[in-house]
Structure 1
Amino acid sequence: MVTLRVLGSAAGGGFPQWNCNCPNCAGVRRGTVRATPRTQSSIALSENGSDWLLVNASPDILAQVRATPALQPARSQRDSGIAAVLLMDAQIDHVTGLLMLREHGRPLPLYATAPVLADLDRAFPLRRILSHYCGLEAHPLPLDGSALRLAALPSLALTPVPLDSKAPPYSPNREAPQHGDNIGLRVVDTRSGARLFYAPGLGAIEPHVMAELQAADVVLVDGTFWQDDEMPKLGLSAKRARDMGHLAQSGPGGMIEVLDAVPRVRKILIHINNTNPILDEDSPQRRRLAAHGIEVAWDGMEIAL
């Protein structure tokens, strides 16, 4: 059986965000909002419960390992269940955790697209920095629709799916998008045929993305913002959700409307920003999601494929 473990379910900064006093963050600190704290988004996949593919390396990875004993199976004096890391993009909240893994006993296998590897070579030179520690064994991900097979997860076919979103603010590609700056991931268990589509950053629903949603048994997709102008309305930023490469849940063409078109699929939101009212378990927005059959991911959530 293939197990997916949600290590972190929040967007960058986590929840509550360390410097934020929005209604959600202030409320959860005071205990006046019924909400669960979350670390920054990452998932892990395993077939045997001991060897795991880490999908995105959150800055919170050390806390996530402590909360997930299977990621530290203790088979030797120095050990890790993390067999490899696959990146969906080069965002700070998805790559900085690589620095926390510097004591890995050998070069850490890293799977990412060519634009992401280029950003990690030049704009944010993690590969050079880590060459002085464990090192990274880089493997460019194909973008031609072919599937990746890993020795640690032999029954899984992993297919990168290019997405319309945004490169990170530090990237030279921020305003000049490159094919492969952002990907989703199709995960197929070749034994059972069970299929997952994972896309924590999703700026637009292109036809090939809709096809992935319709073909999946489980979708785990971008839940960053409830509304497009969420940050401006709170006075926290002038940027809208779309400016940051995210599709809001509400409104015409929003994620709720999109997911309503795939009624037979298990639908879960991840990468939830600290400002999003769906974090409040008693909010009308949370009830609206439930009415549409949409779940909200939480740290420690497990999904069996």
Structure 2
Amino acid sequence: MQLRVLGSAAGGGFPQWNCNCFNCDGLRRGTIVAQARTQSSIAVSSNGLDWLLVNASPDVLAQIRANPELQPARAIRDSGIAAVLLMDAQIDHVTGLLMLRERSSALPVMATAEVFSDIGAGFPLTKILSHYCGIQVLPMLPDGSVQNVPGLTDVQIRPIVLSSKPPPYSPFRNQPRPGDNIGLVIENPVSGARVFYAPGLGEITPEILTLMASCQTVLVDGTCWSGDEMLRQGLSKKTSAEMGHLPQSGPGGMISFLDLLPPGVRKILIHINNSNPILRDDSAERAELTAHGIEVAFDGMDLVF
């Protein structure tokens, strides 16, 4: 089974279009050692032809162009995207659905009832797309039970409730519901290998930590290095926690939890904000991650399990 990282950045990508922070300005000028990244999304396949797109980034068209496997060209109109799974209703994870509107049949979309409620009302993507290809609504229960993916064989998923926040446009922004944000265990039923994917993770409970420890690879929230990172740089008035993300550093940060995982578990950060110093290959923060055995995802990264 193959997992391809299509995009590894947080909302806005890297560099962000209107940002002149040290990282974004440095990348444009070529004064830092870093590489551009599109907004976070992955694709999973068991045969290399049919893919589950996990989160539909606004950059999805560029991501398809950069990954020819997603366009197998078996017919005059074709796509390797068999279905889309939404892990939340954040704009950087759902807007790409609009770019897939030319599909000749309804697009199978897997999501929780909470996510469908937000993209049906506050950001009415389902209503908009009903005038184009339409959506085949495939509700998910985030109870950890095994669910199959339509159009794909030998791909099993287990949606898990996570503690985080729905998007700012949601009426439940300050009253999160179970199902607003999920993690995903992606399992190869043949080998038994499992990957835990959670680009939005505000809290790691003992249960989530146990689940992570049972997986061969964890691909988790790498948004901010420190809780006040965007405040200090004048980029936001919110802390990492207020945005629903667990920072990497400090007591109770992501690094401290990843250190608790058994030896041999591969640890990768994804959904990295443009303000995060780990984007720079030669930063002290990147060196600290390396010392803890933690990798930083990049666009085009492949995992085979």
Using the size of structure 1 for normalisation, the TM-score is 0.99
- Partner in structure 2 of residue 251 of structure 1: 250
Shift of 1:237: 1.2
Letter in 2 for 1:299: D
Deviations 1:88-112 (A, max 9, x none): 0000000000000000110000000
Shift of 1:152: 2.9
CA distance in 2, matches of 1:65, 1:5: 11
Letter in 2 for 1:112: A
Shift of 1:208: 1.8
**Equivalent residue runs for 1:66-215 within 5 Å:** 66-215=65-214
Letter in 2 for 1:224: T
Does structure 1 retain, via aligned residues, the 8 Å contact 2:225–2:247? yes
Deviations 1:115-171 (A, max 9, x none): 000001111100000000000001110122211112433222201000000100000
CA distance in 2, matches of 1:103, 1:41: 22
Letter in 2 for 1:15: F
Query: Secondary structure of the residue that 2:155 maps to in structure 1?
Result: strand
CA distance in 2, matches of 1:47, 1:69: 16
Does structure 1 retain, via aligned residues, the 8 Å contact 2:73–2:79? yes
CA distance in 2, matches of 1:244, 1:95: 17
- Partner in structure 2 of residue 62 of structure 1: 61
CA distance in 1, matches of 2:90, 2:298: 21
Letter in 1 for 2:301: M
Query: Secondary structure of the residue that 1:99 maps to in structure 2?
Result: helix
Q: Once superposed, what is the RMSD of the aligned Cα atoms?
A: 0.7
Deviations 1:251-271 (A, max 9, x none): 001011110001320000000
Does structure 1 retain, via aligned residues, the 8 Å contact 2:82–2:150? no
Deviations 1:236-284 (A, max 9, x none): 1110000000000000010111100013200000000000000010100
- Partner in structure 2 of residue 302 of structure 1: 302
Query: Secondary structure of the residue that 1:139 maps to in structure 2?
Result: strand
CA distance in 2, matches of 1:260, 1:158: 25
CA distance in 1, matches of 2:143, 2:101: 32
Using the size of structure 2 for normalisation, the TM-score is 0.99
Does structure 1 retain, via aligned residues, the 8 Å contact 2:45–2:155? no
Letter in 1 for 2:278: I
% identical equivalent positions = 63
Mean alpha-carbon deviation: is it higher for 126-135 or for 143-152? 143-152
Query: Secondary structure of the residue that 1:53 maps to in structure 2?
Result: strand
- Partner in structure 2 of residue 290 of structure 1: 290
Deviations 1:9-68 (A, max 9, x none): 000000000000100000011100010000000000001101000000000000000000
5+ residue gaps, structure 1, are none
